[in-house]
Amino acid sequence: MAILEILEYPDSRLRTKAEPVTDFGAELQQQIDNMFETMYEAPGIGLAATQVNFHQQLIVIDISDDKSSPLVLINPKITEKKGVEQREEGCLSFPGVYAKVERADAISVEALDRNGKAIKLEADDLLAVCIQHEIDHIEGRLFVDYLSPLKRDRIKKKLQKLQKSR
Ligand code: GNR
Ligand code: NI
């Protein structure tokens, strides 16, 4: 296993639209394991392949406190959205940045698991937020896209300063 480098905003590679996964072989399995290791080490509750410069529609999530609920979503589609809720979000591609974003409160999702088997799930609360945040990543969208241009610009300057300092 390996810890992967996480791209940080405003890296333009975060804007890449991922291609559907078609090959569920050993390389994909290795990529999934490396993404879990990277997410747990960060630590984060989700990680999209785009963030580690792998441009296929692959997401890993675990919102548990004890690594007990790993979830892999491949080629995911949101089939239903209900309600809206504002929540504070963070992102591993924006170290130290938190902002309130409005999302659907509950969603239905269809996806493939790591073996290519079709799965359907219903999610609400934090899991629903996390899935929507990760699906945005694989489509090249970022949580700051929902903020005002002024707030986004402040965040960009803060991160560029941080990146120059190391
Ligand atoms: O670790 C993460 N926490 C989080 C908190 C609120 C809403 C979304 C997230 S996802 C984030 C990890 C990440 O950047 N995934 O893309
Ligand atoms: Ni993120």
Residue labelled with tokens 């629903």: 128
The residue whose two tokens read 């402040």 is: 154
For the Cβ of 14 lying below 6 angstroms from any atom of ligand 1, the answer is no
Three-state DSSP state, 15? helix
- pTM for the model stands at 0.98
d(CA 32, CA 85) in angstroms, rounded, equals 30
Q: What tens digit of pLDDT does each residue of 33-85 get?
A: 999 999 999 999 999 999 999 999 999 999 999 999 999 999 999 999 999 99
**Three-class HEC string of 52-70:** HCCCECEEEECCCCCCCCC
Give whole-number Cα distances, 127 to 35, 51, 75, 104, 155, in Å: 18, 19, 17, 11, 25
- Starting from the CA of residue 127, give the closest ligand: 1
| Banded model confidence at residue 144, pLDDT cuts 50, 70, 90 | very high
Q: What is the pLDDT of residues 94-133, one digit of tens each?
A: 999 999 999 999 999 999 999 999 999 999 999 999 999 9
Point out the residues that are catalytic.
134
| Residue among 73, 86, 92 to mutate when testing ligand 1 (max atoms within 8 A of CB) | 92
